[in-house]
């Protein structure tokens, strides 16, 4: 989203009342130094005055971020395998993933899935694949999807799950799953609604989506330096905007939770079911 385009920015709530919230002339402390943002640094975060949804506004070209730069930068210190081992070794009280897996397993019980077979899950943007490692241990049949070849090889060879390389909007022949997970993914894409709309085509009957996004309402109260507003997030959500986005993409929110995770992240997480499916 460029500065010029931001003037007429439409929100997921349908309104156009965006206004500047934060301005950055240098990276906030702790922000990864992605290659695309190493030049002149200037960006803003704008917030919808109606629903609280936040959007990144800058002229930087981040289009190649997830085909290499993201993994290069995010795991530069120790590489995928050591980052995976380090997070897998965290005690449950310090692990965002432990809480996530517990919540997914509990919420999946609310879906009227047929008994007597293993549950299937697709994790979009699987990254280190810590989440699917634990879901596999919980008895689920797991498929990882990631645009980075190293993340896919790691998922297949280290974690031992099915894995596909690609961007979710581009890949075909994915099949259908009881649950599709978007763990901290929708904030990284320009058009999150398109992701949710495509996901409906890959849901098994009576399946659902598990969605986690940064919580901009709580983070904004803590200030501009919060990681929820880092440069790789095009969108930062509110409880209202996540609900409205889901609705516009054809889903109802079956469960919604707001929390601060052990890592300190402010997070919204939700279970979404297809509206057409609900009407049956």
Site membership for Zn ion, residue 13 (CB under 5 A) = yes
Question: Residue 170 CB: number of other CB atoms within 10 A?
Answer: 8
Phi, psi of 115 (to 5 degrees): -75, 165
Size of residue set near Zn ion by CB under 5 A: 6
Site membership for Zn ion, residue 48 (CB under 5 A) = yes
Kindly state the tokens that stand for 61. Answer: 């070209």
Site membership for Zn ion, residue 235 (CB under 5 A) = no
* Residues in contact with 210: Cβ distance below 8 Å, sequence separation at least 6, in sequence order: 104, 107, 179, 180, 181, 182, 183, 269, 270, 271, 272
Quote the least distance from Cβ 51 to Zn ion, whole Å: 3
Which residue, 132 or 249, has its beta carbon nearer to Zn ion? 249
Quote the least distance from Cβ 240 to Zn ion, whole Å: 7
- One residue of 37, 45, 51, 181 binding Zn ion per CB under 5 A: 51
Quote the least distance from Cβ 224 to Zn ion, whole Å: 20
Phi, psi of 144 (to 5 degrees): -100, 145
Which residue, 119 or 235, has its beta carbon nearer to Zn ion? 235
Which residue, 13 or 163, has its beta carbon nearer to Zn ion? 13
Which residue, 15 or 27, has its beta carbon nearer to Zn ion? 15
Q: Which stretch binds Zn ion (CB under 5 A): 12-20, 57-65, 149-157, 215-223?
A: 12-20
Question: Residue 162 CB: number of other CB atoms within 10 A?
Answer: 15
Contact predicate 204/176, CB 8 Å = yes
Quote the least distance from Cβ 11 to Zn ion, whole Å: 3
Site membership for Zn ion, residue 248 (CB under 5 A) = no
User: What beta strand segments (E) does 34-132 contain?
Assistant: 43-48, 54-57, 120-124
Which residue, 48 or 135, has its beta carbon nearer to Zn ion? 48
Task: Please tell me the distance from the alpha carbon of residue 116 to that of residue 259, in angstroms, as a whole number.
Answer: 33
Region 130-149 residues binding Zn ion, contact defined as CB under 5 A = none
Site membership for Zn ion, residue 242 (CB under 5 A) = no
Task: Please tell me the distance from the alpha carbon of residue 25 to that of residue 27, in angstroms, as a whole number.
Answer: 7
Which residue, 53 or 134, has its beta carbon nearer to Zn ion? 53
Quote the least distance from Cβ 216 to Zn ion, whole Å: 11
Quote the least distance from Cβ 47 to Zn ion, whole Å: 9
The Cβ-side half-sphere exposure at 100, using a 13 Å CA radius, reads: 27
* Residues in contact with 83: Cβ distance below 8 Å, sequence separation at least 6, in sequence order: 75, 77, 128
Kindly state the tokens that stand for 237. Answer: 């959500």
Quote the least distance from Cβ 245 to Zn ion, whole Å: 10
- One residue of 53, 100, 134, 188 binding Zn ion per CB under 5 A: 53
Q: Which residues form the interface with Zn ion (CB under 5 A)?
A: 11, 13, 48, 50-51, 53
């Amino acid at each position: 989203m460029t500065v010029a385009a931001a003037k007429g920015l439409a929100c997921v709530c349908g309104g156009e009342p965006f206004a500047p919230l934060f301005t950055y002339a240098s990276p906030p402390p702790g922000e990864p130094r992605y290659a695309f943002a190493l030049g002149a640094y200037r960006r803003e975060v704008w917030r919808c005055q109606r629903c609280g949804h936040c959007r990144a506004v800058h002229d930087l070209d981040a289009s190649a971020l997830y085909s290499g730069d993201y993994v290069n930068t995010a795991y530069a210190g120790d590489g995928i395998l050591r980052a995976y081992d380090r997070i897998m070794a965290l005690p449950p009280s310090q692990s965002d993933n432990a809480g996530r897996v517990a919540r997914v397993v509990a919420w999946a019980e609310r879906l009227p899935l047929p008994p007597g077979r293993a549950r299937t899950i697709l994790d979009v943007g699987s990254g280190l694949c810590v989440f699917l490692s634990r879901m596999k241990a919980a008895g689920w049949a797991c498929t990882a999807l990631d645009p980075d070849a190293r993340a896919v090889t790691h998922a297949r060879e280290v974690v031992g799950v099915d894995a596909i390389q690609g961007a979710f909007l581009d890949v075909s022949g994915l099949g259908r799953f009881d649950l599709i997970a978007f763990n901290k993914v929708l904030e990284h894409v320009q058009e999150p609604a398109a992701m949710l709309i495509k996901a409906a085509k890959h849901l098994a009957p009576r399946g659902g989506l598990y969605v986690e996004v940064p919580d901009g309402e709580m983070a904004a109260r803590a200030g501009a330096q919060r990681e929820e507003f880092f440069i790789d997030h095009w969108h930062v959500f509110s409880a209202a905007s996540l609900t409205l986005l889901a609705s516009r993409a054809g889903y109802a929110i079956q469960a919604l939770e707001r929390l601060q995770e052990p890592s300190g992240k402010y997070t919204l997480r939700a279970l979404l079911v297809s509206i057409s499916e609900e009407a049956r």
